[in-house]
Structure 1
Amino acid sequence: MEPQQLPEAAGSPRHAPAGAAPAGISLHDFCGRAGEQLVHFHAMRLRDSLFLWVGAEPALRSLAVAMCSPHDSIPVSTSLLGDASDTTSNSLAQRLARKTKKQIFVSYNLQNTDSSFILHIENRIKEEMMAFPEKF
């Protein structure tokens, strides 16, 4: 007896065009300058959440998650990876969760944690969100 092949869903990764993400996932890469530094951004929109990576070189040194709570006006957040005393990923995730009303994962991988630098990074993200809302 020969094994049967099951029909595949039209949105399965096997039927996706080369380089495309599986159905329900949207990938978006962009970059910007913060002072003298070139900063890369990688956004991965999932069904009800967003993963945002910020860095200058390939690394995953920190990861935080934040989401809105019906019990508090400030989104709840926690650090999932990295130095718990560095709250940059946490605070950025909280502010983006408040803006989008989604669960937000943020991996901030830059050495500069100066508040004016972070504000520039956040404004660049918001600018991209306004230009390409379907990607976020």
Structure 2
Amino acid sequence: MEAAGGGGAAAAGGGGGIALHDFSGRLGEQRVHFHAMRLRDSLFLWVGAAPALATLAVAMCNPRDSIPVAASLLGDPSDTASACLAQRLASKTKKQIFVSYNLQNTDSSFTLLIENRIKEEMMAFPEKF
């Protein structure tokens, strides 16, 4: 598991800009790539093995419920991997989270590996998230 160069581009104008961060890791038998784009109050996270944007979901915290609300924006709505990951990350970060999960393996143990890899990177580079 390694960070791929950091990709730290921040927009001009101070701390409220955009920060980009790319990293990857071998999870099980598969090499997985991650692209994070931190915006002012939200985070866009792409997860995949090949260039594709097959699904996109958003999740955000709800003051009336402890479980973040999530919606599928792109792709098959019965594929809940993006929405579930977005919900868990929104709960952790308290931000609006957009997730595009583009891997065929949606097994819960594998998605937990994905989530843990993201959390590792969040701990190592909090300014990127």
Provide the TM-score with structure 2 as the length reference. 0.89
Aligned to 2:126: 133
Aligned to 2:109: 116
Task: Confirm or deny that 1:71 pairs with 2:64.
Answer: yes
Q: Could you tell me which amino acid in structure 2 is paired with residue 22 of structure 1? A: A
Task: Confirm or deny that 1:22 pairs with 2:11.
Answer: yes
| Deviation, structure 1 residue 94 | 0.2
In structure 1, the residue corresponding to 2:43 is in which secondary structure?
strand
Larger Rg: 1
Q: Gaps spanning 5+ residues in structure 1: where?
A: 1-18
Q: How does 1:1-136 map to 2 (within 5 A)?
A: 20-23=9-12, 24-136=17-129
Percent identity, aligned pairs only, is 84
Aligned to 2:4: none
| Deviation, structure 1 residue 20 | 3.5
Q: Could you tell me which amino acid in structure 2 is paired with residue 28 of structure 1? A: H
Distance in structure 2 (CA, Å) of the matches to 1:45 and 1:92: 16
Post-superposition CA distance 1:10-53 (Å, at most 9, x none): xxxxxxxxx93423000000001111100000000000000000
Contact 2:45 2:100 in 1 (8 A): yes
Provide the TM-score with structure 1 as the length reference. 0.85
Distance in structure 1 (CA, Å) of the matches to 2:96 and 2:107: 25
Q: Gaps spanning 5+ residues in structure 2: where?
A: 1-7
Post-superposition CA distance 1:84-110 (Å, at most 9, x none): 000000000000000000000000000
Structure 1 vs Structure 2 CA RMSD: 1.0
What number of residue pairs does the alignment pair up? 118
Distance in structure 2 (CA, Å) of the matches to 1:20 and 1:103: 20
